[in-house]
């Protein structure tokens, strides 16, 4: 059977590590695309995969290939799939750090003509996460306000831009410091609020003239649950995307009830193929124009060869970047 190279989690004396290994080449089935991978990004969830704490529903029982996304060229497709060999695409896919992947044909998004493969790999997961958080989970209506916590992250950056495209009335960016205020405002944020110790909810309320925020997209988790409830507007929605700061927090049930708030948790790990495909379709429907016209673009912090995947993960773990870390996938390298 034909083999390909991939970045695989293997056991070593010091614990799990990532090594390049030969694995069986994927075989396309009806309803799938076979993609030659040119680039993939590094995500915080990759660190959890390495630690064995991030397992998706329906995960393969074979070698654990790291990577949650990729961009590349279609090699094989059904004639009625809407894609053809040679098309340039970006997609969410488990095990993206491999020379080839197969993916449900409903998942890929075409790369804008002006985009590189590196841009596609750096954008696709953030686009799907941000759009789902705002549109589906957050039910954002035109004119409503949005707060993005951990706005400096790649997903946070994309969420700011997506909120603007979806017609948000006012967009607030929350970050640990104001050093990137100019950058975040350049993405479309109307105001930047520091999340330092004490006074975060009060600062958000001050910026919103005491009204609070309609949709809060939370990438931090437990430590800010109380602040988010306090900073939410009447009938606001708090969308829990990430838990960088921890999974548990104090909840003021009285305020939750008085404000009639919704707290919605989201993840891709427990979604079936149809649910994921619906999110990809939403991105294509709502954001294609912004992508093609250059209004919505990813920031790439740096591009490294895929053989430096461990160094790339160290950079992500240290939060020593602004934008995505992207790995180029080279056949035979």
DSSP sequence for 177-197? SSTTHHHHHHHT-SEEEE--S
Angstrom distances, CA of residue 280 to CA of 18, 81, 95, 167, 204? 29, 14, 18, 19, 32
Residue 47 has a pLDDT of: 67
pLDDT at 53 over 80: no
DSSP state of 272: -
Residue 58 has a pLDDT of: 46
Q: How many CA atoms lie within 13 A of 310 on its CB side?
A: 8
For 46-66, what is the mean pLDDT?
Answer: 60
Residue 71 has a pLDDT of: 98
By mean pLDDT, which of 50-54, 127-131, 302-306 is the weakest? Answer: 50-54
pLDDT class of 152 with cuts at 50, 70, 90: very high
Encoded tokens for 207: 């910026």
For 262-268, what is the mean pLDDT?
Answer: 95
Residues 171, 237 contacting (CB under 8 angstroms): no
Residue 1 has a pLDDT of: 77
Residue 244 has a pLDDT of: 80
pTM: 0.92
Encoded tokens for 206: 């001050």
CA dist 214 and 228 (Å) reads 11
C-alpha dihedral over 45, 50, 52, 57, to 10 degrees?
Answer: 50
For 210-235, what is the mean pLDDT?
Answer: 95
List of residues 6+ apart from 107 with CB closer than 8 A: 91, 92, 93, 276, 277, 280
CA dist 182 and 45 (Å) reads 28
CA dist 328 and 309 (Å) reads 10
Residue 49 has a pLDDT of: 58
pLDDT at 316 over 90: no
β-bridge pairing 32-42 and 69-76: antiparallel
β-bridge pairing 170-175 and 145-149: parallel
Residues 23, 3 contacting (CB under 8 angstroms): yes
Residue 16 has a pLDDT of: 82
Quick one: 21 exposed, middle or buried, by C-beta within 10 A (0-12, 13-18, 19+)? middle
For 278-305, what is the mean pLDDT?
Answer: 96
For 50-65, what is the mean pLDDT?
Answer: 57
Q: Angle between the 154-165 and 273-292 helix axes, to the nearest 10 degrees?
A: 70
pLDDT class of 45 with cuts at 50, 70, 90: confident
Residues 102, 35 contacting (CB under 8 angstroms): yes
pLDDT at 54 over 70: no
Span 94-103, pLDDT tens digits: 999 999 999 9
Residue 55 has a pLDDT of: 47
CA dist 138 and 57 (Å) reads 24
Residue 51 has a pLDDT of: 54
CA dist 303 and 42 (Å) reads 10
State the average pLDDT for the chain: 92
Share of the chain above pLDDT 90, in %: 77
Residue 59 has a pLDDT of: 47
> Which one has a higher pLDDT value, 145 or 331?
145
Residues 232, 212 contacting (CB under 8 angstroms): yes
Tell me how crowded residue 275 is: count the other CB atoms within 10 A of its CB: 12
Residue 66 has a pLDDT of: 92
For 292-305, what is the mean pLDDT?
Answer: 94
By mean pLDDT, which of 26-35, 40-49, 84-93, 167-176 is the weakest? Answer: 40-49
By mean pLDDT, which of 88-92, 215-219, 221-225, 244-248 is the weakest? Answer: 244-248
Residue 56 has a pLDDT of: 46
Tell me how crowded residue 69 is: count the other CB atoms within 10 A of its CB: 29
Going by C-alpha positions, the residue among 147, 100, 151, 93 that lies closest to residue 125 is 93
Residue 48 has a pLDDT of: 61
pLDDT at 216 over 80: yes
Sign of CA dihedral 179, 202, 147, 251: positive
pLDDT at 10 over 60: yes
Tell me how crowded residue 284 is: count the other CB atoms within 10 A of its CB: 15
Residue 127 has a pLDDT of: 97
């Amino acid at each position: 059977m034909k083999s390909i190279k991939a970045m695989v989690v293997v056991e070593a004396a010091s614990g799990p590590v990532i090594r390049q290994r030969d694995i069986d080449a994927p075989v396309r089935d009806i309803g799938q695309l076979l993609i030659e991978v040119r680039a993939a990004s590094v995500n915080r969830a990759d660190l959890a995969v390495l630690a064995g704490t991030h397992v998706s529903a329906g995960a393969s029982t074979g070698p654990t290939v790291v990577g949650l996304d990729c961009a590349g060229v279609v090699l094989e497709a059904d004639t009625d799939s809407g894609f053809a060999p040679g098309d340039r695409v970006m997609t969410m896919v488990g095990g993206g750090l491999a020379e080839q992947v197969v993916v449900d044909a409903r998942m890929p998004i075409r790369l804008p003509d002006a985009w590189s493969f590196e841009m596609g790999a750096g954008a696709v997961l953030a686009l799907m996460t941000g759009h789902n958080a705002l549109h589906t989970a957050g039910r954002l209506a035109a004119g409503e306000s949005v707060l993005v916590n951990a706005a400096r992250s790649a997903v946070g950056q994309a969420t700011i831009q997506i909120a603007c495209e979806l017609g948000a009335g006012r967009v607030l960016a929350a970050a640990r410091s104001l050093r990137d205020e100019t950058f975040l405002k350049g993405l479309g944020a109307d105001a930047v609020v520091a999340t330092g110790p004490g006074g975060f909810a009060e600062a958000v309320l001050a910026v919103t003239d005491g009204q609070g925020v309609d949709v809060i997209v939370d990438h931090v988790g437990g430590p800010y649950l109380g602040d988010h409830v306090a900073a939410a507007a009447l009938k606001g929605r708090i969308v829990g995307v990430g838990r960088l700061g921890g999974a548990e927090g104090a909840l003021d049930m009285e305020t939750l009830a008085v404000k009639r708030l919704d707290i919605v948790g989201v993840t891709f790990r427990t979604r079936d193929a149809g649910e994921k495909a619906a999110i990809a379709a939403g991105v294509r429907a709502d954001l294609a124009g912004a992508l093609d016209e250059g209004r919505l673009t990813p920031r790439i912090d740096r591009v490294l060869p895929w053989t430096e995947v461990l160094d790339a993960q160290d950079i992500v773990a240290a939060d020593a970047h602004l934008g995505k870390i992207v790995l180029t996938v080279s056949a035979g390298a």
